[in-house]
Amino acid sequence: MRIDIITIFPEMFVGPFTESIIKRAVEKKIVDIHTHNLRDYSTDRHKRVDDYPFAAGAGMVMMVEPVDNCISKLKSEREYDEVIYMSPDGELLNQSMANTMSMLNNIIVLCGHYKGIDERIRKYLITKEISIGDYVLSGGELGAAVLVDSLVRLIPGALGDETSALSDSFQDGLVSPPVYTRPRNYKGWQVPDVLISGNDRLINEWKYEQALARTKERRPEMYEIFKKNENV
Per-residue confidence band for 166, with pLDDT thresholds at 50, 70 and 90: low
pLDDT for position 163: 58
pLDDT tens per residue, range 16-38:
999 989 999 999 999 999 999 99
pLDDT for position 40: 98
Ramachandran assignment for 222, one of left (phi > 0), alpha (psi -120 to 50 degrees), beta (any other): alpha
Per-residue pLDDT for 162 more than 70? no
Per-residue pLDDT for 85 more than 80? yes
* C-alpha–C-alpha distance, residues 98 and 152, integer Å: 9
pLDDT for position 231: 77
pLDDT for position 169: 62
Q: CB neighbours of 138 closer than 8 A, spacing ≥ 6? A: 113
Per-residue pLDDT for 167 more than 70? no
Judge residue 163's burial from the number of C-beta atoms within 10 Å of its C-beta, 0-12 exposed, 13-18 middle, 19 or more buried.
exposed
Per-residue pLDDT for 184 more than 80? yes
Amino acid at 155: I
pLDDT for position 91: 97
pLDDT for position 180: 97
Per-residue pLDDT for 232 more than 60? no
pLDDT for position 114: 86
Per-residue confidence band for 57, with pLDDT thresholds at 50, 70 and 90: confident
3-state secondary structure 12-78: HHHHHHCCHHHHHHHHCCCCEEEEEEHHHHCCCCCCCCEECCCCCCCCCEECHHHHHHHHHHHHHHC
pLDDT for position 172: 81
User: Residue 218 in 3-state DSSP?
Assistant: helix
pLDDT tens per residue, range 145-161:
999 999 999 999 998 76
Concatenate the DSSP letters of all residues of 152-206 into one string. Answer: HTTSTTSSSSTTGGGGSTTTTSSPPPP---S-SEETTEEPPGGGGS--HHHHHHH
Q: Is the dihedral of CA 215, 224, 169, 88 positive or negative?
A: negative
Mean pLDDT over residues 152-178, rounded? 79
